[in-house]
């Protein structure tokens, strides 16, 4: 195996990976660049590896970068808990208000029903008075109030 053949050999995955990572020694780097200058296949492998590596780094950055955001995350979680408590409290307040409103509505309904039945009781009492009819002695005080006007009485003939 001559030096020429070694130079023409395709870059191994390890060399491509190390080349992309920049962890190859100067001699290997020089050989790799010399090979890449004449080998589109290995250039493509390097490009793909670089894309994968940069994408992975970007993704990893987007996932692991926010350690400084943890206080915010924790705060938001705590805030959420507080919010939940507030919502529950307000909900409980609504429930209490609803209960009060229900009691008030019930009271109003009760009052209205009482008023309604009282209003019905009054005519019922009136009807009861009227429907009972003139009982014995009921209209004693109204004796002078005839139902039909008396016809004018003809002047009595002078008695003999």
Indicate whether 10 belongs to the interface with Zn ion (CB under 5 A). Answer: yes
Shortest distance, position 1 Cβ to Zn ion, whole Å: 16
CA–CA distance, 36 with 28 (Å, rounded to integer): 12
46 within 8 A of 19, measured Cβ to Cβ: yes
46 within 8 A of 20, measured Cβ to Cβ: yes
Q: Which is nearer to Zn ion, 41 or 110 (CB)?
A: 41
Residue with tokens 């390097």: 46
Phi, psi of 99 (to 5 degrees): -65, -45
Region of 9-17, 60-68, 83-91, 115-123 interacting with Zn ion (CB under 5 A): 9-17
Q: Which is nearer to Zn ion, 29 or 39 (CB)?
A: 39
User: x-or-dash pattern for Zn ion, window 20-59, by CB under 5 A?
Assistant: -------------------x-xx-----------------
**In angstroms, how far is CA 130 from the centroid of its own chain?**
61
Binding stretches for Zn ion (CB under 5 A): 10, 39, 41-42
């Amino acid at each position: 195996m001559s030096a020429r053949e070694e130079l023409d050999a395709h870059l191994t995955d390890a060399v491509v990976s190390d080349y992309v990572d920049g962890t190859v020694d100067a001699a290997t780097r020089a050989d790799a660049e010399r090979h890449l200058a004449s080998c589109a296949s290995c250039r493509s492998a390097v490009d793909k590896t670089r894309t994968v590596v940069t994408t992975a780094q970007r993704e990893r950055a987007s996932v692991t970068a926010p350690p400084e955001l943890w206080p915010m995350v924790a705060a938001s979680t705590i805030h959420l808990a507080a919010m939940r408590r507030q919502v529950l409290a307000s909900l409980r307040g609504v429930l209490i208000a609803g209960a009060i409103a229900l009691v008030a509505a019930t009271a109003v309904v009760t009052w209205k029903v009482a008023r309604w039945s009282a209003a019905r009781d009054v005519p019922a009492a009136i009807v009861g008075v009227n429907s009972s009819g003139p009982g014995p002695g009921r209209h004693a005080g109204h004796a002078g109030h005839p139902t039909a006007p008396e016809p004018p009485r003809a002047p009595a003939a002078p008695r003999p």
